Amino acid sequence: MILSTFLPGGRWLGLLLAIAASSAGAVTQEIRALFTPDPSNPQSNKFINKTPVSGYCAELPAECVANNTFSISIPVRFESTKAIQPGAAQREGAMFKVPARWRALTVTNADTGETEQVEIRIAGIGSNYILSDTAANLTGASNAGDGHRSLWNGSSWVYATPPCEYSGVGLYGHSNYRFFWKTPVEAACAKGARFSIPAMSYDHLDFAYELRTPNPLGMSSGLYTGNLNYRIGPYGDFDMGDVMVPDDSSLALNFVLDVQHTLKVDIPPGGNKIELVPEGGWQNWLQNGRKPVRLFRDQTFNISASTRFKVQLNCEIPGQYECTIRDRVSGRSVVVGVLMSLPAGLTDLNGQPVNRKRLFHGAHMAQQFQPSIYVDRAPGVLHFEIDSYYVNLMLRPGVESNYTGNVTVIWDSEV
């Protein structure tokens, strides 16, 4: 093969597809992408392609890296039904029109039934054309390069015709030419022949695409699947004119978005035993008989979260809404308030910061929270407190008491 002139291209975005031809006259392709939080880059909330490149970018990886381009190759062959003549109408020659506008589809979580919208557009098209004779023989040129340049209006196929745009390099031989064009808009790009071509084929089809995915931080963990179907052939979604006819009539894109979230809470050693004390300790009460205003303890924890979650209490001795602790001798119980503060990047469902949010007993009273960014081992605080009303009931001069009880705080990503 001979390498043509390099032409710099623009920036493209995309994921890649794994190809499988079915026996029912169609081509199916899986688009698989993964989101998992990256502690080294918590600001990045993007899906990562998990499917290998194929086609043009597999053959010319350096060109595609330079242009941020990805390509896929599908086993669809096009054959001309008649000769391509000089001065023929656009649809009677070599033309390409692909679905370059954004199209939406719905993906559904297989476990929860939740749905999200994905958008896709075809951003590039390419193939390898094969002539019925050498380009030199068809044109009378002295070599293959001059033959390919002379055969078509506007020079060889490394130069796309508007509105398509060039994307990099081309590869050619005596009777074939490997090309790839960008498709910024949904309109036909055509090459007019300057000499008669008795027969021509495209031996496969390459394309690139751009994908718009939802924010994974708002999605539940699991697999989201969906599909989108395209028609191939004259006046279809992939339209190569009236002369170049495909051997498959449809293309099915099967999407699999894999969301793997993190929710982890670390309590420092000893943090599971909470002793509630007055401000400054017990000295004012023991020595001066001055009752404290409240009893409290702030317990820090570290949280990593990339998903929505809920928090609830499970009380050994439940009150109406909150937990209580009890003096085993007198049988008296008092309410312990449990409040939570979360680090920046975690909010309530209204997008407001979480500062001393009160927690309640039972799943039906769970409070819900959400990330605006991935939070990795950021500090939060659980605030335990008994207010002055209950402190007055607990403390009596000369009477010793010991109030105990278990309070379990549950963080749950199943919302």
DSSP strands (E only) in 321-406 = 323-327, 333-341, 346-348, 357-358, 367-371, 375-386, 403-404
pLDDT tens track for 354-383: 999 999 999 999 999 999 999 999 999 999
pLDDT tens track for 313-322: 999 999 999 9
C-alpha–C-alpha distance, residues 123 and 102, integer Å? 10
Which CATH code of 2.40.30, 2.60.120, 2.60.40, 3.40.50 fits the domain covering 263-412?
A: 2.60.40
Lowest mean pLDDT among 13-27, 117-131, 247-261, 379-393: 13-27
C-alpha–C-alpha distance, residues 241 and 194, integer Å? 18
Return the DSSP state at 373: S
pTM for this prediction:
0.80
**Confidence (pLDDT) at 347:** 96
**Confidence (pLDDT) at 282:** 81
Domain ranges of the chain: 2-259, 263-412
CA angle, 228 then 233 then 236, to 5°? 55
C-alpha–C-alpha distance, residues 284 and 110, integer Å? 60
Confidence of residue 289 (pLDDT cuts 50, 70, 90): low
Asked if the peptide bond before residue 75 counts as cis, ω within 30 degrees of 0, the response is no
Confidence of residue 45 (pLDDT cuts 50, 70, 90): confident
Residue 152 has pLDDT above 50, yes or no: yes
pLDDT tens track for 162-213: 999 988 788 999 999 999 999 999 999 999 999 999 999 999 999 988 889 9
C-alpha–C-alpha distance, residues 181 and 235, integer Å? 20
pLDDT, mean over the chain: 89
Lowest mean pLDDT among 28-32, 65-69, 88-92: 65-69
DSSP strands (E only) in 198-308 = 200-202, 205-212, 222-231, 244-246, 250-259, 263-266, 295-305
Confidence of residue 2 (pLDDT cuts 50, 70, 90): very low
| Mean pLDDT value of segment 100-122 | 95
For CA atoms 239, 240, 242, 247, give the dihedral sign.
Answer: negative
For CA atoms 235, 237, 241, 243, give the dihedral sign.
Answer: negative
